[in-house]
């Protein structure tokens, strides 16, 4: 945790010097915060906004949250850091000469040409405006070309000074000045490429041979050189006239930087071997900051960020940081010896006559007059002697008198005091004398004067009294409510915690049971607002600029309009850090300030944003209950504290601060850090689909935490607001392009207009690429084509086999059967009639003819060219016409017209034809018909065959086996099953027969 040390110099040194030191605060950063070494020697800021520090161990990068050290190769005593135009960082070291750090890979490498011999020590690396670099070694100064790394050495006269001998400055005209330690101050003559000593031991002019050691310096806005020396103090040198002036100081001045105080006045930050000081040129005086570290320390280097105004002091005990925006809250301590400590500032009132004067009520002894410009304090003790009352409130009348309500804890003395600042005297008036008669114990907790100049006083458990002055100068009570009414209000421990006088003259009471309106016209107390069981106790009331009533309650802050309607409510769930809220004020800008035990809250009613401030932001303590006050202008908030108070400049909250710069601190892919160039897309493998990006706002404030947001275009569409968390992580990303959008805001909601973008592309795995998919498609198509060709080849081979079989059957068996038929016929013709062998020969001839016909059918079905359905229908039609005409039967054949596209397998064709042939033969043999109808049709994916006659028919109920055997019906049914079809036979005696076949094709 970064520690803070706050102080007001009036508490620590004589009051005459109180106004000379700026009222600012410092943050200390040490090894406890991650710094590699407390000995810090140099600092710079790169173009992205990262801070770099040279430490005893190594160079280190700082993003405001974490340090990144560069330990390899070893460097030690890094006393110089500078960035060139390419973003490369040049580092002067003690062990490895000059090194560079690559802006992309963040690798530290020595520069071979910049390794002094025999001693490798280098220091104070400096980049000039002409693009060249300068660094010192034990022997003199060196000028290096930052592109080629070519080095030109400028030797100094050898002396007994055994350290790095040169540091560097550049004036407004671009002239480089070399601070050559004990050799002197040199001006670089670019035309002659030489160093000319203008002051010091090596100066040709004997009158200018100062016996001193030149350390480091700066150039102010007027172009004057300010140079630290070890034995002469602070040296001012005019580069135009060569005039110089020494401002003596005992410590050795090691570093100087130009700056300004909290009021914009120029000053010089001076680091020496005894600590940190400021030098005011117009006075010629040094003013030291005491006790910034527990132990003695030296300031080795100073770096001032001109864009942010941040001052970084590199010391022997760590880093001191001053941020102007961290000075939002100033701390002012009461001087020691002013009053017995500890003491708490309980109330603060700005004087009506003199706006520079404030009256501070104390928890004991009295009150303090504070003159703000001079920071002068004077104590006003309360009478009577020996009492130590607690100041509860101070009200100033038009005549300038201060009316002070106190709690007399010793139970002796008045509870209301009147003080005249003009004559520095306490007065007793008729009004105060009458007021001090009330209350059994002198606890005057609340009081004010209303527009009629009536005095209202009250305490928590004894009620309210209203007093008025009479025409004759006396005082009388004019309380509108009876004692009985007040006792009824206070019953059941309903204590009064606060009184509020609104702008219309109405008076409101904050009680344990809610808010009451003290109704003078009706002489009663009217319960105005109570939330019952939820937050009933009201501790403080406030009327805002819109006339709305705000209440600080136990557990909540509520806003109510004049009709009692609740408008808003703040609780711990909405950001309040504590339930006990006491103290409400409004500044001129409409900010609502809330006090509680856990710090200070600011609520912007326009943006509905709640901010929290704590000791880390400059408060003396987190307890701000009942101690919030504003000046009359409303642009400053004053907070009473123990032994002092805080002043918060409200106007700083309204300044349009630029949004903080944003940078990527690290990119990690699969938990491994990956170098990258922000404008170049980051290519990730498929196995690297998880990454995290640490991004930070480089504004280095010590105010309420920065806010962050991000989203990954290609995966998300809306911003993810992560609050103070600044790590964006994603896993299991699909292949494709992505853009990570990053932005940040400071504590006051100033978001970056330009978001930071990182472009990623996750490469697909080989199996997810279009090439692979195309190859798969080609392979599948190739496989399918191979299967297709294999099938075609198989079919071709099958057709060849079928053709060969049909040819063999026709040529061999067909020819033999024809020969048998012919020879049988010839044999029968040569036999006498009658002859016993004639019957056998005729049987042989008939069987041979039938076998030949059957063989012809088989050969026809085997031939591949007959697979078309059209060929089959033509054969069936021809067969039917030959058979039916031979028997003298009239017939009608109906066939489809377009069947060229349909084919049947050899098995389908054979079974279909044989069913047709068997049915037609049965019709001719058994039907005894005179008319037959044959219909073939194609319906969707089915083939239909119907054969119908007008013959004698038969009885379907006859024994099936016998009927089927007689008519050959069994074969029909069997072949129908082989076709995966259905066969239906409709017949009755004397009504003819109809056979219908349906099968899929």
Higher pLDDT, 373 or 218: 218
354 forms bridges with which residues in the sheet?
none
- C-alpha–C-alpha distance, residues 176 and 136, integer Å: 13
Which of 738, 755, 757, 756 lies closest to 684 in space, CA to CA? 738
Q: pLDDT tens, 627-652?
A: 999 999 999 999 999 999 999 988 77
Q: Is the pLDDT of residue 271 over 90?
A: yes
The number of beta carbons lying within 10 Å of the beta carbon of residue 273 is 17
Joined tokens for residue 53: 């520090």
* Phi–psi pair at 606, nearest 5 degrees: -80, -40
**Strand duo 549-553 + 538-543: pairing:** antiparallel
Q: Is the confidence at residue 862, as pLDDT, over 70?
A: no
**How high is the pLDDT of residue 907?**
82
Percent pLDDT > 70 in the chain is 88
Answer whether residue 619 shows pLDDT above 80: yes
Residue 817 pLDDT exceeds 70: no
Confidence (pLDDT) at 842: 66
CA distances from 95 to 41, 119, 421, 783 (A): 15, 9, 68, 69
Query: Is 50 exceeded by the pLDDT of residue 966?
Result: no
Residue 19 has what pLDDT?
41
Tens-place pLDDT, residues 360-381: 999 999 999 999 888 899 999 9
452-495 pLDDT, tens per residue? 999 999 999 899 999 999 999 899 999 999 999 999 999 989 99
- Max avg pLDDT among 62-66, 267-271, 293-297, 958-962: 267-271
User: Can you give the pLDDT at residue 96?
Assistant: 92
Compute the average pLDDT of residues 724-729: 88
Are the C-beta atoms of 83 and 59 separated by less than 8 Å? Answer: no
Which two three-digit tokens encode residue 596? 């509680």
Q: What is the pLDDT of residue 8?
A: 28
Q: Which CATH architecture has domain 662-765?
A: Sandwich (2.60)
Residue 608, sorted as left (phi over 0), alpha (psi -120 to 50) or beta, turns out to be left
Quick: pLDDT tens for 824-852: 666 666 667 676 766 766 677 666 666 66
Q: Locate the domains of the chain by residue range.
A: 35-193, 212-322, 342-479, 480-655, 662-765, 769-866, 870-1000
Give the residue from 615, 748, 6, 661 showing the smallest Cα distance to 305: 661
* pLDDT (0 to 100) of residue 484: 92
Q: CA-based Rg of the chain, rounded to a whole angstrom? A: 55
Closest-CA residue to 902 (of 796, 794, 1000): 1000
Across-strand partners of 557? 552, 570
- Mean pLDDT, all residues of the chain: 86
336-365: average pLDDT: 95
Tokens coding 19: 């106004």
Average pLDDT of span 272-291: 90
Q: Does the pLDDT value for residue 143 go beyond 80?
A: yes
What is the mean predicted confidence (pLDDT) over 776-785?
91
Q: Both tokens of residue 331?
A: 């701390």
Domain 35-193 top-level CATH class: mainly beta
Which CATH superfamily groups domain 342-479? YVTN repeat-like/Quinoprotein amine dehydrogenase (2.130.10.10)
Query: Does residue 409 or residue 155 have the better pLDDT?
Result: 155
Rounded Cα gap, residues 629 and 454, in angstroms? 23
| CATH architecture assignment, domain 480-655 | 7 Propeller (2.130)
When the candidates are 3.40.630.30, 3.40.50.720, 3.10.450.350, 3.30.565.10, the CATH number that belongs to 870-1000 is 3.30.565.10
Per-residue pLDDT at 468:
95
> C-alpha 254: how far from its chain's center?
42
Would you state the pLDDT for residue 15?
Answer: 35
Task: Check whether 345 has a pLDDT greater than 90.
Answer: yes
Contacts of 781 (CB under 8 A, 6+ apart): none
- For residue range 869-928, list pLDDT tens digits in order: 788 888 888 888 988 888 889 999 998 877 767 788 878 888 888 888 888 888 888 889
Residue 516 has pLDDT above 80, yes or no: yes
Taking the C-alpha atoms of residue 654 and residue 549, their distance in angstroms, rounded to an integer, is 24
Sheet holding 225-229, edge to edge: 214-219, 225-229, 234-237, 244-247
Same fold across 212-322 and 480-655: yes
Residue-wise pLDDT tens digits, 311-336: 999 999 999 998 877 667 888 889 98
Which ranges in 370-520 belong to alpha helices (H)? 430-435, 483-490
DSSP bridge partners of 541: 551
Question: Does CATH place domain 212-322 in 2.130.10.10?
Answer: yes
* Region 750-775 average pLDDT: 84
The mean per-residue pLDDT over the stretch 34-56 comes to 95
């Amino acid at each position: 945790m970064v520690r803070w040390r706050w102080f007001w110099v009036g508490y620590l040194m004589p009051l005459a010097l109180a106004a000379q030191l700026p009222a600012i605060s410092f943050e200390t950063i040490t090894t406890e915060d991650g710094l590699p070494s407390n000995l810090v020697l140099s600092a710079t800021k790169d173009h992205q906004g990262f801070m770099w520090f040279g430490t005893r161990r190594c160079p280190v990068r700082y993003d405001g949250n974490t340090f990144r050290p560069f330990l390899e190769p070893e460097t030690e005593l890094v006393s110089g850091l500078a960035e060139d135009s390419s973003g490369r960082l040049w580092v002067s070291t003690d062990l490895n000469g000059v090194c560079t750090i690559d802006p992309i890979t963040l690798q530290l490498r020595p520069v071979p040409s910049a390794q002094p011999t025999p001693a490798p020590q280098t220091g104070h690396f400096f980049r000039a405006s002409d693009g060249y670099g300068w660094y010192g070694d034990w022997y003199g100064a060196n000028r290096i070309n930052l592109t080629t790394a070519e080095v030109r050495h400028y030797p100094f006269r050898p002396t007994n000074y055994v350290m790095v001998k040169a540091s560097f400055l550049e004036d407004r005209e671009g002239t480089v000045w070399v601070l050559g330690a004990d050799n002197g101050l040199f001006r670089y003559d670019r035309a002659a490429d030489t160093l000319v000593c203008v002051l010091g031991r090596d100066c040709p002019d004997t009158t200018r041979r100062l016996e001193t050691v030149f350390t480091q310096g700066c150039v102010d806005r007027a172009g004057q050189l300010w140079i630290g020396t070890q034995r002469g103090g602070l040296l001012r040198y005019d580069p135009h006239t060569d005039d110089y002036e020494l401002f003596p100081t005992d410590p050795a001045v090691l570093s100087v930087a130009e700056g300004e105080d909290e009021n914009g006045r120029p000053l010089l930050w001076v680091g020496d071997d005894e600590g940190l000081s400021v030098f005011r040129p117009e006075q010629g005086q040094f003013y030291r900051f005491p006790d910034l570290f527990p132990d003695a320390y030296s300031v080795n280097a100073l770096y001032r960020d001109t864009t942010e105004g941040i001052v970084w002091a590199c010391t022997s005990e760590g880093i001191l940081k001053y941020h102007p925006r961290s000075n939002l809250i100033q701390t002012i301590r009461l001087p020691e010896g002013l009053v017995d400590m500890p003491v708490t500032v309980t109330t603060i009132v700005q004087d009506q006559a003199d706006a520079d004067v404030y009256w501070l009520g104390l928890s004991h002894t009295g009150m303090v007059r504070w003159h703000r410009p001079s920071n002068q304090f004077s104590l006003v003790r309360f009478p009577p002697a020996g009492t130590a009352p607690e100041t509860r409130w101070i009200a100033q009348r038009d005549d300038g008198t201060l009316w002070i309500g106190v709690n007399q804890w010793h139970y002796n003395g008045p509870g209301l005091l009147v003080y005249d600042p003009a004559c520095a005297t306490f007065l007793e008036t008729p009004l105060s004398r009458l007021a001090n008669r009330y209350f059994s114990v002198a606890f005057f907790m609340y009081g004010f004067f209303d527009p009629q100049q009536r005095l209202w006083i009250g305490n928590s458990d004894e009620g309210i009294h209203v007093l008025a002055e009479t025409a004759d100068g006396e005082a009388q009570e004019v309380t509108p409510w009876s004692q009985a009414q007040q006792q009824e209000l206070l019953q059941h421990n309903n204590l009064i915690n606060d009184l509020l006088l609104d702008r219309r003259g109405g008076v409101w009471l904050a009680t344990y049971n809610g808010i009451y309106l003290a109704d003078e016209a009706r002489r009663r107390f009217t319960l105005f607002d109570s939330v019952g069981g939820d937050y009933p106790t009201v501790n403080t009331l406030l009327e805002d600029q819109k006339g709305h009533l705000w209440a600080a309650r136990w557990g909540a802050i509520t806003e109510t309009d004049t009709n009692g309607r609740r408008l808003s409510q703040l609780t711990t769930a909405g950001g309040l850090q504590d339930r006990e809220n006491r103290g409400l004020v409004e500044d001129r800008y409409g900010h609502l300030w809330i006090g509680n035990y856990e710090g200070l809250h600011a609520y912007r009613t326009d943006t509905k944003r709640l901010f929290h401030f704590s000791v880390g932001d400059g408060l003396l303590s987190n307890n701000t209950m009942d101690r919030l006050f504003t000046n009359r202008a409303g642009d400053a908030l004053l907070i009473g504290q123990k032994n002092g108070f805080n002043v918060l400049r409200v106007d700083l909250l309204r300044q349009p601060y630029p949004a903080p710069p944003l940078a990527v601190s690290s990119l990690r892919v699969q938990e491994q850090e990956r170098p990258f160039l922000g404008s170049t897309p980051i290519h990730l493998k498929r196995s690297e689909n998880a990454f995290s990006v640490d991004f930070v706002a480089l504004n280095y404030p010590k105010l309420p935490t920065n806010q962050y947001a991000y989203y990954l275009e290609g995966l998300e569409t809306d911003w993810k607001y992560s609050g103070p968390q600044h790590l964006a992580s994603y896993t299991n990303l699909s292949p494709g392009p992505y853009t990570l959008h990053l932005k940040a805001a400071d504590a006051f909601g100033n978001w970056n207009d330009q978001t930071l973008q990182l472009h990623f592309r996750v490469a697909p795995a080989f199996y997810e690429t279009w090439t692979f998919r195309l190859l798969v498609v080609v392979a599948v198509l190739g496989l399918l084509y191979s299967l297709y060709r294999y099938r075609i080849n198989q079919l071709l081979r099958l057709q060849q086999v079928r053709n060969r079989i049909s040819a063999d059957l026709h040529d061999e068996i067909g020819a033999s059967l024809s020969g048998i038929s012919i020879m049988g016929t010839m044999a029968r013709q040569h036999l006498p009639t009658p002859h016993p062998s004639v019957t056998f020969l005729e049987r042989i001839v008939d069987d041979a003819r039938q076998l030949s016909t059957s063989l012809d059918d088989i050969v026809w079905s085997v031939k591949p060219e007959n697979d078309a359905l059209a060929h089959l229908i033509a054969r069936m039609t021809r067969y039917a016409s030959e058979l039916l005409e031979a028997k003298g039967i009239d017939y009608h054949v109906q066939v489809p017209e377009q069947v060229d596209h349909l084919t049947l397998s050899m098995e389908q064709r054979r079974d279909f034809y044989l069913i047709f042939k068997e049915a037609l033969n049965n019709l001719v043999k058994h039907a005894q018909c005179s008319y037959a109808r044959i219909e073939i049709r194609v319906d969707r994916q089915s083939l239909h065959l119907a054969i119908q006659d007008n013959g004698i028919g038969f009885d379907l109920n006859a024994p099936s086996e016998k009927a089927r055997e007689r008519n050959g019906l069994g074969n029909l049914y069997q072949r129908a099953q082989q076709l995966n079809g259905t066969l239906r036979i409709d017949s009755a005696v004397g009504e003819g027969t109809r056979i219908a076949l349906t099968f899929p094709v």
